[in-house]
Structure 1
Amino acid sequence: MSIRQLIEKVLDKWPAKIICFLLAIFLYVFHQISLVEKKSFVVPLRVTENGMVSHVSQVPSSVSVVVRANSAAINTITLADLSASLDLNDITEVGNYDIPVQIRISDRMREFDPMEIRVFPEFVSTRIEIKKARFVKIKPTLVGEVAHGYEVSNVEVVPSYAEVIGSESIVNKLEEIETTKVLVSNATRDFSTEAEYMVVNKLLDVVDKGPYKVTVSVKPSELEKVYDDVAVLPVHLNKKLTLVKEIPSVSVKLKGSMLNLEKYSPAINAITADLSKITEPGIYDIPLTFNFPKVFLIMEKSYDVVTVQVDFIPENSESKTDASKDSPNANEAVKGVDFSGGAV
């Protein structure tokens, strides 16, 4: 057969032959498509920034990956066969970047044919800044209230500082990092416990995340309390003398532990006036003696010295005699009184 005859035979009924050829291709492609299935995965997105820069804005925590392969292969693919990352190691300048999402597959997936992989989104936009390291204080996060009448006097953390690494703008503003919760509820004494770094900003890397040793010091709370109208007890007055007027009461401010002051009431001898040196009628300035328990400090008092007027007890007055029977004098009033300062 000559070349001319061959060409004529090929071109004979060529429209029908082209249609058959295209139909065959279509049937082949359709058959291949019918054998391919797709499967979607949500893959965690890891940021690799081992160089001199760090990203500032938040990036997605995961990306969507769609894998197409034949049904036999697609059923064997798991999340462990896929990984997604953003690589910032080659970036050296500050600026805004669209970073491509890199997908890595396991070795066994490389043997699948046919196979197609698509990722959404393909790029992640973020701002890049120079990386900086700095030491900042570690602040314990105290939770709860100590027991009534107590307070936290000091909190110590060992180590007291931690190194943080991140973008320059974030690290420069950071003064301290906080720990996980340290419970102090109903505490009445010092105690130690352990706590770790509490992740607040995922853009910040803390080199030593703990555990840290936290020591909490607890002490009784102090309180100042005013006692108004505390009576003054006159003592050791000569039996022949009597007070013309009652000694005015005194206002006193005491300082001490809250628990002690809340239950304390001044005793009858809390404030006394010693009249033992008075031997005859007259007006005298007598210093007061304050007999409050030693656990209290006297912060303020309305006065330290009292002016008293004394006179002889009338011997011929029947009314005075009767009154004296009903109202004992200063010496009789003080009998049996405990001058130890009173109980708290």
Structure 2
Amino acid sequence: MTSDWIRRAFLENWGLKTISFFIAVLLWLFVVGEKQSDVHMSLPLVLDNLPKSMIVTSNVPNEVSVRVTGPRTIIATMKPSQYRVSLDLQGIKPGTSSYELLASRFGFPRGVRVSDISPSVVTIVADSAGVKELPVKPRLKGLPADGYEVSRIEVVPETVNVIGPEKALKLVRELPTEVIDITGADGGITREVEPLFPGPSFKFEKRTPITLKITLAKIKAQREFIGLPIMKPPEGWSVSPSTVTVRLTGEVEVISQITAKDITVGLSWPLPAGRGGEVVPVKVLLPAGAELVDVLPESVFVKPTN
């Protein structure tokens, strides 16, 4: 019975089996004899499963350089976009960890051999993640147009929450913005600005747009007028002292043209009849465009002369 089985295995359908045998031999010869190809590929390095309580503080390469060898027909179909190198960081602890990049990580087709990996080991330094509220510090450069100055800077929001390495974050006091050039500006500036984090390991706890509003105004100056006379009181009254010092402010081109004759200093008249001496506030009337800073003295003593 055994001999019959052997005879049937080799002799039945011997023509079909012979053809199959020759096809298999030809395929084997094609694969073995096919010209080999050698190619260099740059594959993205991806960090997976990093715990939310941890943060990577070291510089990690974005790509891994790989040299592969294999049959030309297979190599020709391989595209770098089809592959990536993944490191599983689940369970990583504070400190330094090293990960060896083995050929089995790449998932290349059968028949393809990895001849070189650079870097072959990736070292990662991690730290516990911390959160801190930091004030936003705007940065400006340049000078506005002649006759203008920055009168107000508004930042929205004024503070943001930043995530970073716990130890390093304790040393950070503020979050500066990118530099805004105000050279030659003569009007308001409103712009969304980017923050300048202390390092690549820092980021927003929640992405927050930062808007910077810069208000420019014409430069103001101050002038002081000493010994301005108070308007002559009604007959029968005396004022002491009879002169005051007035300090005013305004745009340079406005107040530079003001003279003492343009300023009126007076009191509230009439006073109630039959009363004795009174301390009365001084009133100052200024030309348009000028603002009163102060008047000294603010009040004077008024009394009847009879």
Q: If the TM-score is normalised by the length of the shorter chain, which range does it land in?
A: 0.5 to 0.7
- Counterpart for residue 249 of structure 2: 256
Change (3 A) 1:100 1:33: farther
Contact 1:192 1:216 in 2 (8 A): yes
Contact 1:187 1:218 in 2 (8 A): yes
Please list the CA deviations of residues 290-321 of structure 1 after superposition, one character each: whole Å capped at 9, or x if unmatched.
986461446699xxxxxxxxxxxxxxxxxxxx
Equivalents in 1 of 2:101, 2:179: separation in Å?
A: 37
Equivalents in 2 of 1:268, 1:208: separation in Å?
A: 59
1:269 lines up with 2:267 in the alignment? no
TM-score scaled by length of structure 1 = 0.53
What SS is found at the alignment partner of 1:80?
helix
- Counterpart for residue 211 of structure 1: 209
- Counterpart for residue 73 of structure 1: 74
- Counterpart for residue 100 of structure 1: 100
Please list the CA deviations of residues 159-217 of structure 1 after superposition, one character each: whole Å capped at 9, or x if unmatched.
x433322321222223333445556451434x544334456621123233343344334
Equivalents in 1 of 2:176, 2:125: separation in Å?
A: 26
Equivalents in 1 of 2:67, 2:216: separation in Å?
A: 58
The size of the alignment, in residue pairs, is 239
Change (3 A) 1:54 1:291: closer
Match of 1:162 among 148, 160, 163: 160
Equivalents in 2 of 1:116, 1:32: separation in Å?
A: 18
Matches within 5 A, 1:121-140: 121-140=119-138
Report how far residue 157 of structure 1 moved.
0.6
- Counterpart for residue 36 of structure 1: 36
Contact 1:40 1:67 in 2 (8 A): yes
Equivalents in 2 of 1:132, 1:180: separation in Å?
A: 24
Change (3 A) 1:271 1:206: closer
Name structure 1 gaps, 5 residues minimum: 1-30, 237-251, 274-288, 302-344
What SS is found at the alignment partner of 1:173?
coil
TM-score scaled by length of structure 2 = 0.58
Q: Which amino acid is the alignment partner of residue 265 of structure 1? A: Q
What SS is found at the alignment partner of 1:202?
coil
Equivalents in 2 of 1:268, 1:136: separation in Å?
A: 51
Judge which range, 161-170 or 63-72, deviates more.
161-170
Equivalents in 1 of 2:246, 2:88: separation in Å?
A: 69
- Counterpart for residue 238 of structure 2: none
Contact 1:266 1:292 in 2 (8 A): no
Change (3 A) 1:64 1:139: same
Q: Which amino acid is the alignment partner of residue 194 of structure 1? A: E
Q: Which amino acid is the alignment partner of residue 134 of structure 2? A: V
Equivalents in 2 of 1:255, 1:48: separation in Å?
A: 66
Change (3 A) 1:154 1:269: same
Contact 1:45 1:60 in 2 (8 A): yes
Name the % identity. Answer: 17
